A and B are shown apart, each in its own frame.
Chain A
Amino acid sequence: MRNLEQLDVEHPRSLEEAVELLAAGGQAVAGGTDLVVGVRTARQTPNRLVYVGQIRELKQIVHDSQGARIGAAVSHAELFESTVADRLPILRQALSTIGGPAIRAMGTLGGNAANASPAADGLIPLYLLDTQVDIFGPDGERSVPIQSFIRGPGSPDLHPGELIRSFTVRFPRENPLSYFRKVGRRRALVIAIASLGSLVWVDGDRIRAARLALGSVAPTVLRPARVEEALVGCDLNAPALADIARQLGDETCPIDDVRASADYRRRVAGSLLLDMAEHLQ
Chain B
Amino acid sequence: MKLAFELNSRPVVLDVPPGRRLLDLLRDDLGLIGTKEGCGEGECGACTVLVDGSPKLACLMLAAQLPGCSVVTVEGLAQTGELHPLQKAFIDHGAVQCGFCTPGLLMASYALLQRHPQPSRQTVRDYLAGNLCRCTGYDQVVEAVLSVSRGGQRI
Contact = CB atoms under 8 A, between A and B. Distances in A.
Interface in A126-174: none
Nearest to A7: B19
A101 B48 CA distance: 10
Interface stretch (B5-13, B53-61, B75-83): B53-61
A271 to B, nearest CB: 24
B19 A105 contact: no
A40 B39 CA distance: 12
A50 to B, nearest CB: 10
A230 interface: no
A33 B60 contact: yes
Interface string B49-93: 001001111011111110100000000000000000000000000
B56 A100 contact: no
B19 A4 contact: yes
A188 B18 contact: no
Contacts of A7: 18-19
Interface string A33-58: 10011001100000001010100000
Name which of A6, A11, A32 has the most chain B CB atoms within 10 A of its CB: A32
A241 interface: no
A102 B43 contact: no
B108 A40 contact: no
Contact of A189 (B1, B108, B127, B129): B129
B19 A102 contact: no
Contacts of A41: 41
30 contacts: A4-B21, A5-B17, A5-B20, A6-B17, A8-B18, A9-B18, A9-B62, A9-B63, A11-B18, A11-B67, A31-B60, A32-B61, A33-B57, A36-B42, A36-B62, A37-B41, A49-B62, A51-B62, A51-B65, A100-B45, A100-B130, A100-B131, A101-B108, A101-B112, A101-B130, A102-B56, A103-B130, A105-B51, A106-B61, A188-B130
Name which of B41, B48, B59, B127 has the most chain A CB atoms within 10 A of its CB: B41
B28 to A, nearest CB: 11
Interface string A193-213: 000000000000000000000
A99 interface: yes
A128 B111 CA distance: 32
A259 interface: no
B40 interface: yes
Nearest to B49: A102
Interface of A: 3-9, 11, 29, 31-33, 36-37, 40-41, 49, 51, 53, 75, 77, 99-103, 105-106, 187-189
Mostly, the A contact residues are: mixed
Given A32-B61, A105-B56, 11 more contacts: A11-B64, A36-B42, A51-B62, A100-B45, A101-B55, A101-B111, A102-B54, A103-B57, A106-B57, A189-B129, A189-B130
A7 B17 CA distance: 8
Contacts of B59: 36
Contacts of A103: 42, 57, 130
Contact of B19 (A9, A77, A101, A189): A9
A7 B64 CA distance: 11
Contact of B64 (A3, A6, A51, A77): A51
A220 B30 CA distance: 44
A204 B142 CA distance: 42
Contacts of A9: 1, 18-19, 62-64
